[in-house]
Structure 1
Amino acid sequence: MIYQHIGGLLQKGIDTKLIEKADQIYVRNQVLALLKLESFPEINTHKTDDTIPNLLEKIITYAVENNVIENVFDDKEILSANIMNCFVARPSVINSTFQKKYELSPEDATDYFYELSKNSNYIQMNRIQKNIHFKSETIYGEMDITINMSKPEKDPEQIKRELELKSDINYPKCLLCIENEGYEGRTAYPARANHRIVEIPLGNESWYLQYSPYVYYNEHSIVLCGEHRNMKIRKESFERLLSFIEKFPHYFIGSNADLPIVGGSILSHDHYQAGRYEFPMTRAKNAFSFQLEKFSNITASVLDWPLSTIRLQSTDIETLVDAADYVLTVWKGYSDEDAAILAFSGDTPHNTITPIARMRDGLFELDLVLRNNRTTDKHPLGIFHPHEDVHHIKKENIGLIEVMGLAVLPARLKDELEEIKKDLLGQPSEVASYHNDWVDQIKMNYGERSSIEEIDAIIEKELGNKFARVLKDAGVFNEKNDYERFIDRLNE
């Protein structure tokens, strides 16, 4: 069967335009070498017809069963990536193709690169399909809810290896460095042999576009700096975000904040996230408009959104950058004891911004989400962080994706919610104790329900409400008066 699986993979490589027919003997021989096979049957008419990820899984199963590799997570990941690397062109070819397609249309360029990243199995579509997705209506509009099931579980031998690992290897410096392109991987460091990036100059610097291996939304991409340096939100950040939108107006782009607690998971490498998706935040209406007096040709408003957000619009990038930089500068030094906001504790800064850029109706648009990472004894994880009473649903940091209205909830919830549903149906169940108050509240609000369809709808709605509360906890302003005091400071 292994030869049929290899034949099927070669055919899929041709069908998806990863390779041409003229490449198949070369690619086949490369794959044979990786599997320690010395020949290929001359008569082999049948080819396994399946998807690329499924064919890879079959081939990896063969490799384990025939002692080509050990049955260990990293060994399987490395071989899988190495096999697909035989099908993927060199970076120079991919960059050249991307640029030629860009000259015809930015959408053609990103379509090409996204399909390549999926077909090469760099984007892990089989694992992503395990995620649970639904939409939930809240007082702020429809929210996107995802229970993240795509992270693969590590086998005991993999865990043992990592515990025994004593390594001082510092290459690549992090998961976002350009040196990851084509890197084979090692124990406790992901395989990237089939990984490719394309250069997207922003300003006078080298920046690069890649797609996330575990996309949370359509064309979920990462725009990363060629230099390994810490994230920093500053004037140049706004310039880069809007420059990217000018190049790719069909995408949005945003940045995590640059401080712990309110920032993303990787603050050690300057990067942004982009994609072709309309988030709930994009559809948020204005709570009220206001005049930014120093920038009379900028349209400014406060969003009706759980996180405290100022939206700026203009046809002129330079003016918009200056206005955003002004808001950032004022906010970084802004304190308001009535709103529990302190800009500094000693020399430690607390205020920063999560910025998001897009094109809308011919206007450049920037959403500036005001963030503060101060902690207290009452809120040791952060004053403007999900509070303890919602930790049973979401305890992790609120990063860019959540800010825009897409909840990424932990995998544990899949089984926990099934137990809650059993309890609501009056069946024997084992509800985690930290969900008890929530379950009691659901019973009080909805009474008895006997239909699983009704229970499913209730749980989805209540998860949306919980997520809206999670976001509200991360908002720095609760009242219109809080906004108005800050706007007054902006207009001094």
Structure 2
Amino acid sequence: MIYSDIRGLLQKGIEVGLIDTADQNYVTNQVLALLHLESMPATTEGTTDDSIPNLLDKIIAYATENNVIDNVFDDKEILSATIMNCFVERPSVINAIFQKKYSNSPKNATDYFYELSKNSNYIQMNRIKKNIHFKATTIYGEMDITINMSKPEKDPEQIKRESELKHDVDYPKCLLCIENEGYAGRTGYPARANHRIIQVPLVNENWYLQYSPYVYYNEHSILLAEEHRDMKIGKDTFKRLLTFIEKFPHYFIGSNADLPIVGGSILNHDHYQAGSYNFPMTTATTALSFTLENFPNITASVLEWPLTTIRLQSDEIEPLIQAADHVLTTWKSYSDEEADIRAFSNETPHNTITPIARMRANKFELDLVLRNNRTTEEHPLGIFHPHADVHHIKKENIGLIEVMGLAVLPARLKDELAEIKKFLLDQTTSVAPYHQQWAEQMKGNYGELSNLEQIESILEKELGIKFAKVLGDAGVFKVQSECERFIQTLNR
């Protein structure tokens, strides 16, 4: 069957436009060599009709069963990416095609690159399908909930290999560096042979666009700096974000904060996240409109949102940059003891911003989410971080995606929620200890339950309520008067 699977992969590569029929012999020979096969029989038992990810899985299974590679996670990932690299053009060609399509329309260019990234199996569509998605109604409107099942589990041999790894390789410096493009991978470092990036000049620098291998929303993309440098939110951040949406008005773009606790998982490489998706925050209503006295042409408001968010709008980029920089500069030195906010502990800064940019009705829009990472004995993980009572659902940092209203919850919840369903059906008397109180509260609130669909609906609703609480914990101002004091400071 291996020859049928190879023919199937070639046929799918032609169908989706990865290769031309004129490339067929070349690509066939490249794949054969990788599988230690010397020839392609003139006749086979046909051509396997399946998706590219499924065909790859079949081919990798053959490679492990026939000792082409060890049956170890990294070896399988490396071979899979290297096979697909045979189907993907070189970076210069990809960039040239992208620019040609961009000259017609920015959306045509990103559509092309997104489909390429999926078809080349760089975006792991089969694994992403395992994620659990639903919407949950909260007091702030509908929230997006995802239980992340796409991250593959490492086998025991893989874990052993990584534990025995003695040498440190400082290449690429991190998972986002441009040197990842085409990198084969190694033990403990992901395969990137089929990875391509698009050069996007921004504010006198080279930046690069790629898609996330594990997309959490439509066209989940990453814009990364050419230079390997720490994340930093400043005036140049606002310039880059707004320049990007001027180039790609059909996308939003935002940045994680640049401090531990309130930042994302990668703080050592300056990068942003973009895409084509309307997050719950996008449609949040206005809680408070106000005027920035030094910026009369800027429309300013505070959103009805669990994290304190200032929304600024303008017809022009430059005034918006200046206004956003004023908000950031003021916030970075702002303290309010009544609200538990201190800008510094000695020389250590605590205040920063999570910014998000988009186009709306032909206006430039910036959402500035105020963040603070101070800790106390009561809240050792952060005062404005998920508190202990929601750790059974979410304990990790609240990054950009969650700030905008999309929960990324741990995989453990799938099995744990199944146990809670049994508990609510009186089929078991206990659940994981950290869920016990929550499960008993639901039983007390909803009474006797026998309908599984009803229980699933209740659990989705209750997860939404918990996630809204998670975001509320991360909000710096809990009442309007606290927010109004900061606005007064902005206008001094």
TM range (shorter): over 0.9
Alpha-carbon distance in 1 for matches of 2:150, 2:59: 21
Q: Is 1:278 aligned to residue 278 of structure 2? A: yes
Alpha-carbon distance in 2 for matches of 1:454, 1:339: 40
- Indicate conservation of the 8 Å contact 2:145/2:409, yes or no: yes
Deviations 1:331-352 (A, max 9, x none): 0000000000000000000000
Q: Is 1:128 aligned to residue 124 of structure 2? A: no
Residue 48 (structure 1) aligns with: 48
Alpha-carbon distance in 2 for matches of 1:430, 1:250: 49
Deviations 1:144-174 (A, max 9, x none): 0000000000000000000001122100000
Letter in 2 for 1:243: T
Letter in 1 for 2:353: I
Alpha-carbon distance in 2 for matches of 1:175, 1:102: 27
Residue 99 (structure 2) aligns with: 99
- Indicate conservation of the 8 Å contact 1:420/1:429, yes or no: no
Instruction: Summarize the Cα distance change of 1:383–1:116 in structure 2 as closer, same or farther, 3 Å threshold.
Output: same
Gaps of 5+ in 1: none
Residue 372 (structure 1) aligns with: 372
Alpha-carbon distance in 2 for matches of 1:341, 1:7: 63
User: Which SS does the other structure have where 2:136 is aligned?
Assistant: strand
Alpha-carbon distance in 2 for matches of 1:399, 1:301: 22
Alpha-carbon distance in 1 for matches of 2:469, 2:402: 12
- Indicate conservation of the 8 Å contact 1:220/1:276, yes or no: yes
User: Which SS does the other structure have where 2:258 is aligned?
Assistant: coil
Deviations 1:73-92 (A, max 9, x none): 00000000000000000000
Deviations 1:293-317 (A, max 9, x none): 0100000000000000000000010
**What pairs with 1:265-414 in structure 2 (closer than 5 Å)?**
265-414=265-414
User: Which SS does the other structure have where 1:380 is aligned?
Assistant: coil
**What pairs with 1:64-83 in structure 2 (closer than 5 Å)?**
64-83=64-83
Letter in 1 for 2:413: L
Deviations 1:372-421 (A, max 9, x none): 00000000000000000000000000000000000000000000000000
Alpha-carbon distance in 2 for matches of 1:429, 1:416: 14
- Indicate conservation of the 8 Å contact 2:257/2:264, yes or no: yes
Alpha-carbon distance in 2 for matches of 1:288, 1:257: 24
Instruction: Summarize the Cα distance change of 1:485–1:119 in structure 2 as closer, same or farther, 3 Å threshold.
Output: same
Calculate percent identity across the aligned residue pairs: 76
Q: Is 1:242 aligned to residue 247 of structure 2? A: no
Q: Is 1:161 aligned to residue 161 of structure 2? A: yes
Alpha-carbon distance in 2 for matches of 1:207, 1:57: 34
Residue 61 (structure 1) aligns with: 61
Deviation, 1:428, is 2.6
User: Which SS does the other structure have where 2:205 is aligned?
Assistant: coil
- Indicate conservation of the 8 Å contact 1:419/1:429, yes or no: no
Letter in 2 for 1:242: L
Name the TM-score, length of structure 1 as normaliser. Answer: 1.00
Residue 193 (structure 1) aligns with: 193
**What pairs with 1:444-463 in structure 2 (closer than 5 Å)?**
444-463=444-463
Deviation, 1:443, is 1.2
User: Which SS does the other structure have where 1:258 is aligned?
Assistant: coil
Deviation, 1:430, is 4.9
- Indicate conservation of the 8 Å contact 2:430/2:436, yes or no: no
Deviation, 1:209, is 0.1
Q: Is 1:488 aligned to residue 463 of structure 2? A: no
User: Which SS does the other structure have where 1:24 is aligned?
Assistant: helix
Deviation, 1:445, is 1.4
Alpha-carbon distance in 2 for matches of 1:15, 1:472: 48
- Indicate conservation of the 8 Å contact 1:308/1:476, yes or no: yes
Deviation, 1:111, is 0.2
Root-mean-square deviation over aligned CA pairs? 0.6
Alpha-carbon distance in 2 for matches of 1:465, 1:51: 38
Deviation, 1:444, is 1.7
Aligned residue pairs total: 492
Deviations 1:44-94 (A, max 9, x none): 361000000000000000000000000000000000000000000000000
Name the TM-score, length of structure 2 as normaliser. Answer: 1.00
Letter in 1 for 2:462: E
Letter in 2 for 1:178: I
Give structure 1 regions of 4+ aligned residues with deviation exceeding 3 angstroms.
none
Alpha-carbon distance in 2 for matches of 1:25, 1:198: 28
Residue 29 (structure 1) aligns with: 29
Alpha-carbon distance in 2 for matches of 1:183, 1:141: 43
Letter in 1 for 2:317: I
